[in-house]
């Protein structure tokens, strides 16, 4: 018998949307309240970069982000024998995987996919995006 003030017990009159169907009675599981999302405009007190526009939720509890890799920087991005990508993966954490998809047309842009748990994949995405921007900037200085 759970005490009436038990925080894990469903409260009488609680909205049905806050519980998982059939799970509350059996396991006492309640859906967590959604976190409020209030994006802060750039330059308005937030040092955090904006969230990427393309995030895919995978069925395994992982997420995937994609970054477009221009063809002129890809050899530098990959590095000799993939060493540059391995270094980026090490920075992002062991639960982050970075892979490069082939270009759809010869000489075209390639998709760089970053997958992992939400935190690791987001860290990996930020690292990859920063490296792509750095290589683009270096390339523009040479042109």
86 and 17 in a common domain? no
Q: Quick one: which of 42, 37, 50 has its CA closest to 122?
A: 50
Count of structural domains, the chain? 2
CATH code: domain of residue 80: 3.30.1370.10
- What pLDDT, on a 0 to 100 scale, did the predictor assign at position 28? 52
Is 104:92 a contact under the CB 8 Å cutoff? no
In a domain, 46, yes or no: no
Instruction: Confirm whether 9 is domain-assigned.
Output: yes
Which parts of the chain sit beneath pLDDT 50? 1-20, 23-24, 29, 32, 35-46, 48-51
pLDDT recorded at residue 25: 53
What is the per-residue pLDDT for 16? 44
Domain residues for the domain of 28 are: 1-34
Global pTM reads: 0.59
Q: Is residue 115 part of a domain?
A: yes
């Amino acid at each position: 018998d759970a005490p009436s003030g038990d925080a894990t017990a469903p409260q009488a009159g609680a909205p049905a949307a806050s519980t998982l169907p059939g799970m509350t009675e059996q396991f006492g599981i309640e859906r967590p309240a959604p976190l409020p999302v209030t994006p802060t405009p750039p330059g308005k007190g937030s040092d955090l970069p904006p969230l990427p526009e393309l995030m895919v939720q995978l069925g395994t509890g992982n997420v995937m982000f994609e970054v477009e890799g221009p063809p002129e920087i890809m050899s530098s991005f990959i590095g000799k024998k993939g060493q540059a990508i391995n270094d980026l993966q090490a920075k992002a954490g062991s639960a982050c995987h970075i892979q490069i998809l082939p270009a759809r047309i010869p000489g075209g842009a390639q998709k760089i996919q970053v997958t992992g748990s939400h935190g690791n994949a987001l860290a990996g995405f930020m690292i990859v995006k920063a490296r792509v921007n750095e290589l683009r900037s270096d390339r523009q200085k040479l042109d």
